Chain A
């Protein structure tokens, strides 16, 4: 995914690192240039693979010292066994995926846990841009309506509804604005949400 490489530095990296146990086996879906895996390898000693579709990003990830597997996430994760990773990451890629339900199911099958981050469409500054008559463009949504790779934008409430519907248990949630945690009404006040989830009972 090219969506990933365009953003840096990434405020969610340290939050994600806190959701991954030291030495964990990690699968990073849509790993971009491998910056997150590289960060986690340094910060948490994780091992694993990044999956990436874009040629330039595959090369960049390789140069970043990440084990990168070129492939299309939309084809699923069938080659990976159940619970073969401690954590499956999907960092700011969810909104660009077509078949989100299938991918979410696969993530909590292949990973004991999954960490999903995405830009919050209901973030107040986005909402105000809509009110003013135009599609929101911001640091977390840096594209124009006509060239965005984002096809499935959602809010925190939307995402939590989908988790409930898919019987995916939310273990932890961190909502950020300007790189800082948001406690008050995160569905409105956060620009980025990071969830730690796992298969529910």
Chain B
């Protein structure tokens, strides 16, 4: 294990007996959230940072498990002792969102009304719902105000939503590789992924658990589609080009290296990810649009968030959520005279860059957290 790791971590469960009402109007009588924490909460309870996950990640942000030392947290290069989000100074929380498939209450869990798994009957979740559930977890942990809420992509939407819905409960929001709303093209990709899952005969209307199968073919295709949007054209060309595995075979097997790569990614994903959760999360992405409640005026939507300080970061080759989308967020914040810094990192890897250890990006995150650490000193 590398020396700058949080080391062996253990997931915990918080149970909430009060009903949770979703934005859709539906509700569940109780729920559980699975989470992990790293570092120590200080006596003033002022050094807590919430890290929100994107599409396929979980509460397992950093470190490894005692029984699975290969299972490295998804943002381990960002979170740990001496890392940009330094667990020697901050108390960091990762949480699996409501509707997830890594332990928090979701489609795999029994529906109290039927005794069978919710399946496709689990209420459709929104970013607002997730943040409201995370606020319950913050209450549970005795955290009145986060030093920061941070996320990339869909995770950054949650950071934005925290600043909008609970501005008094978050000092800083770090919004990485995100967008104030999905474009028609973004929604289109999500819809292809959903159709791949829904039309898989093994999906059984979302109740495949009872049939002892999973819609693995649908999940594979969904993941392949998603993965294409995470990478830049350049990096795909550089990594795979038109390379062949073993010459042309004049058939439909795996010929090009890119096909092999995508199939491998799809296969791996279909082995651990829940199809209903994938559907829910893509809908949460599609629905997120804080400006919609203000007639499309993002500045008006972010007015309550203006008391929160922001760091917004985008990556030049990210065509999924391009720098122009991040600049919309920045413009809406400056229109409200909010404290905001913005960096546009010229980096080759597309949307995925936010998970990589780009030195300029990590130096900015480190500098930003250094400044936050000064403010939450006792």
Co-complex (A, B): yes
Write the residues of chain A forming the contact surface with B, with a CB cutoff of 8 angstroms. Answer: 25, 47, 49, 55, 58-59, 61-63, 65-71, 79-81, 84
Q: A55-B360, A59-B367, A81-B335 are in contact. Are A67 and B340 (CB under 8 A)?
A: yes
Cα distance A47–B345 in the bound complex, in angstroms: 25
Contacts of B327 in A (CB 8 A): 71, 79
Cα distance A166–B8 in the bound complex, in angstroms: 66
Mask of B341-366 contacts with A, CB within 8 angstroms, 1/0: 11111100000000000001001100
Whether the pair A69, B368 counts as a contact (CB closer than 8 A) is no
CB proximity of A111 to chain B, nearest CB, Å: 14
Interface residues of chain A: helix, strand, loop or mixed (majority): mixed
Whether the pair B337, A80 counts as a contact (CB closer than 8 A) is no
B184 within 8 A of A: no
Cα distance A24–B193 in the bound complex, in angstroms: 51
Contacts of A25 in B (CB 8 A): 337
How many residues on B have C-beta within 8 angstroms of the other chain's C-beta atoms? Answer: 21
Contacts of B334 in A (CB 8 A): 49, 69, 79-80
Count chain B CB atoms within 10 A of each CB in A67, A68, A79 and give the residue with the most.
A67
Residue of B nearest to A66 (CB): B341
Whether the pair B331, A62 counts as a contact (CB closer than 8 A) is no
Please tell me which one of the listed residues A49, A59, A80 contacts residue B363 in the complex, with CB atoms under 8 A apart.
A59
Whether the pair B344, A71 counts as a contact (CB closer than 8 A) is yes
B371 within 8 A of A: yes
Contacts of B331 in A (CB 8 A): 79
Cα distance A68–B344 in the bound complex, in angstroms: 11
Contacts of A84 in B (CB 8 A): 335
B297 within 8 A of A: no
Residue of B nearest to A72 (CB): B344
Whether the pair B337, A58 counts as a contact (CB closer than 8 A) is no
B101 within 8 A of A: no
> Would you give 19 A-B contacts (Cβ < 8 Å), ordered by A?
A47-B337, A49-B340, A55-B343, A55-B345, A55-B346, A55-B360, A58-B341, A58-B364, A62-B343, A62-B364, A62-B367, A63-B370, A68-B341, A69-B334, A70-B342, A71-B327, A79-B330, A79-B334, A81-B335
B339 within 8 A of A: yes
CB proximity of B126 to chain A, nearest CB, Å: 28
Contacts of B367 in A (CB 8 A): 59, 62-63
Mask of B123-152 contacts with A, CB within 8 angstroms, 1/0: 000000000000000000000000000000
Residue of A nearest to B311 (CB): A62
Whether the pair A67, B343 counts as a contact (CB closer than 8 A) is no
Residue of B nearest to A81 (CB): B335
Cα distance A55–B347 in the bound complex, in angstroms: 12
Residue of A nearest to B309 (CB): A67
- New A-B pairs, 18, CB < 8 Å, besides A68-B342, A70-B342, A79-B331: A25-B337, A55-B345, A55-B360, A59-B367, A62-B341, A66-B341, A67-B340, A67-B341, A68-B341, A68-B343, A69-B330, A69-B340, A69-B342, A71-B327, A71-B344, A79-B327, A79-B330, A79-B334
Cα distance A55–B360 in the bound complex, in angstroms: 8
CB proximity of B341 to chain A, nearest CB, Å: 5
Residue of B nearest to A55 (CB): B360
Cα distance A79–B328 in the bound complex, in angstroms: 9
Contacts of A49 in B (CB 8 A): 334, 340
Q: A65-B371, A79-B331 are in contact. Are A58 and B343 (CB under 8 A)?
A: yes
CB proximity of A63 to chain B, nearest CB, Å: 5
CB proximity of B346 to chain A, nearest CB, Å: 8
Closest 6 CB pairs of A and B: A79-B331, A69-B342, A70-B344, A62-B367, A63-B367, A70-B343
Residue of B nearest to A51 (CB): B342
Contacts of A62 in B (CB 8 A): 341, 343, 364, 367-368, 371
Contacts of A61 in B (CB 8 A): 341
Contacts of B335 in A (CB 8 A): 81, 84
Contacts of A65 in B (CB 8 A): 371
Cα distance A47–B334 in the bound complex, in angstroms: 12
Count chain A CB atoms within 10 A of each CB in B330, B341, B345, B370 and give the residue with the most.
B341
Contacts of B371 in A (CB 8 A): 62-63, 65
CB proximity of A89 to chain B, nearest CB, Å: 16
Contacts of A79 in B (CB 8 A): 327, 330-331, 334
Please tell me which one of the listed residues B341, B363, B370 contacts residue A69 in the complex, with CB atoms under 8 A apart.
B341
